[in-house]
Amino acid sequence: MAQAIACGKVISAGSAEIDKELGGGIPLGPLILLEGASDSGKSVLS
């Protein structure tokens, strides 16, 4: 993931907070597993 971010191959999650937590955005290519409590907004990203 660090390589994808270093190359700038990321897309925004649509939220500055989520992008910050992901280190700049969602890396292109790899599979991302989102975990969290019920009603935490996981489905909003799908």
Three-state SS letters, the chain: CHHHHHCCCEECCCCHHHHHHCCCCEECCCCCCCCCCCCCCHHHHC
The predicted pLDDT at position 24 comes to 87
Domain boundaries, the chain: 1-30
Distance between CA atoms of residues 7 and 46, nearest Å: 24
pTM: 0.51
Q: What is the pLDDT of residues 1-46, one digit of tens each?
A: 455 555 668 888 888 998 898 888 888 876 778 888 988 888 876 6
Positive or negative, the CA dihedral 21, 46, 28, 1 is: positive
